[in-house]
Copies of this chain bind each other. A is one copy, B any other.
Amino acid sequence: MDHYQELEKIFTRIKRLDNAISILHWDSAVNLAENSIDSRSNQISEIKTIIYEIYSSPKILDLFDKTQENQLNQFQLANFNLMKKWHLDATIIDNDLSNALIKATAKSEMVWRKAREENNFKDFVPYLEEVVNLTREKGLIKSQKLNCTLYEALADEFEPGFKEDKTDLIFAKLKDFLAGFLPEVIQHQQKYPISELPLVNISQEKQFILAKKLMNLLGFDFTKGRIDLSAHPFCGGFSGDCRITTSFDEKNFISGLMGVLHETGHALYEQNLPKDWLEQPLGSYVGMQIHESQSLIIEMQMARTKEFLSYLIPEINETFDYSPRELNADNLYRIINRVNPSFIRIDADEVTYPLHIMMRYNLEKKLLNRQISVSDLAESFREEMYSNLGIRPNNHQEGCLQDIHWPSGFFGYFPSYSLGAMSATQFYQAFKKDAPKGNFSQIMTWLKDNIHSKGSLYSSNDLIKEVTGEELNTEIYQNYLRKKFIDDYR
């Protein structure tokens, strides 16, 4: 076995262990009994430690040295470079700091759940401080070794190659645009009143039936995947065993439906990753920006359109035995695309959503750079929200305690959502250029061929350029928002 092949064998082991962890995580959210949580953490942290030990063995460095790059083909070379990147990420901070962070975030997540429930920010402060301090420590070490900013060092874990100055620029343009656009949209939309859908209870069973039908339509492969219930929807598992979850509100079937479409977008990306490389770094998704773009291309670009709603409504009529006259494409379009500044990020419309992201981006940079302290966070959050959205949260649940990202130590994650939304728009328009009358199955094939099946062959930026012919372009996004929320909103 040559050196490169030996490396492939090692990374196969790592991927299989990662896959096992993914299933255990999914099980924790879907099945785990409350007093089994500790033993589950033990299993996962034991497997993570084994992965760390594999990365830390001198053997892997020796194999990197001895591999002759000129004997590798294009894919092997890309895979080899990713191996080195994964290795660097896994070993860049030592096991002590890494374990300290695992412990601190586990604790802080736990305290956060209670703090959010009780609207108690003060008691949560010391736990978040610990997380911020350790994350900062990690970021400083990484930024030195990667020769980048502190924020970039942290964001790199979610979005490899993340650039702070570029993102600052994109967000500045977008913010500028939204400053005028948001009031314009609100004023425009007031001219088109909504007829509320008559309230009915739609059972979970019925919502499951429609969800599965749509998943099938979009090409979700149920022979290697599932859908289940969990408190918060997510896409778990891995390519070969992809498990999305959802929660259904019996009084509001729209939210569950959109959630399923969103997670199905994530799942299709996973299920269509390059088959021959699934057990190697090359067979992984590029980063969270592209992952989010794949959920949003389904939920936002494809589903929240009149064309899709015209297909969907008869399905709703039939499956739910629910056909009020208010349920027509124009009215439903107005309902699901209504713009209105609100407190909770995950419930925000597409126009105000980037403002939620940008304020978090600013705040987390300030926290990490010590321009604000954790104890200032609640107040700073209120003020940022007011300056971005014109509203002030009434409590911490509507404010700085609403997201799990910071308690979990996910600093640098938020931008992926909005960069993903922009990427989704650009991808969809590229598809429309290729196939102006493209149907469901055509878009799915197009996404598979152009994005999913590439795995991590290209960086996010290169992939966007390759597929759309240009870099991320705020104007495309701005035009999309204008068309969807003003021109088509009638």
Please report A residues at the B interface, Cβ cutoff 8 Å: 13, 16-17, 19-20, 23-24, 27, 31-36, 38-40, 42-43, 46-47, 50, 221-226, 238, 240-241, 279
Contact = CB atoms under 8 A, between A and B. Distances in A.
Nearest to A18: B43
Contacts of A38: 240
Nearest to A239: B39
Give the oligomeric copy count.
2
A283 to B, nearest CB: 12
Q: Top 5 A-B pairs ranked by shortest CB distance? A: A39-B240, A36-B241, A35-B223, A16-B46, A35-B224
Contact of A33 (B16, B27, B47, B241): B241
A98 to B, nearest CB: 17
Contact of A221 (B17, B20, B35, B223): B35
A86 B473 CA distance: 62
Nearest to A50: B50
Contacts of A223: 33-36
Contacts of A17: 43, 46-47
Contact of A20 (B35, B43, B225): B43
A20 B24 contact: yes
A43 B24 contact: no
A55 B36 CA distance: 27
Nearest to A224: B35
Contacts of A19: 39, 42-43
6 contacts: A20-B46, A20-B47, A23-B43, A35-B223, A36-B223, A36-B241
A224 B36 contact: yes
Contacts of A20: 20, 24, 43, 46-47
Nearest to A42: B16
Contacts of A224: 33-36
Contacts of A43: 16-17, 19-20, 23
B27 A225 contact: no
Contacts of A35: 221, 223-224, 240
Given A17-B43, A23-B43, A36-B240, 14 more contacts: A17-B47, A20-B43, A20-B47, A23-B24, A32-B241, A33-B223, A33-B224, A33-B225, A34-B223, A35-B240, A36-B223, A36-B225, A36-B241, A39-B241
Contacts of A50: 13, 50
Listed residue (A34, A50, A241) with the most chain B CB atoms within 10 angstroms of its CB: A241
A17 B224 CA distance: 24
A403 B186 CA distance: 69
A56 to B, nearest CB: 15
A25 to B, nearest CB: 11
A34 to B, nearest CB: 5
Listed residue (A23, A38, A226) with the most chain B CB atoms within 10 angstroms of its CB: A23
A381 B357 CA distance: 70
A244 B377 CA distance: 46
A34 B24 CA distance: 19
A240 B33 CA distance: 10
B24 A226 contact: no
A250 B42 CA distance: 39
Contacts of A238: 39
Contacts of A279: 42
Contacts of A225: 33, 36
Contacts of A13: 46, 50
A274 to B, nearest CB: 15
Given A42-B16, A43-B16, A27 B36 contact: no
Contacts of A42: 16, 19, 279
A454 to B, nearest CB: 21
Listed residue (A23, A36, A223) with the most chain B CB atoms within 10 angstroms of its CB: A36
Nearest to A22: B43
A46 B238 CA distance: 16
A82 to B, nearest CB: 20
A95 B43 CA distance: 24
Nearest to A20: B43
A227 to B, nearest CB: 11
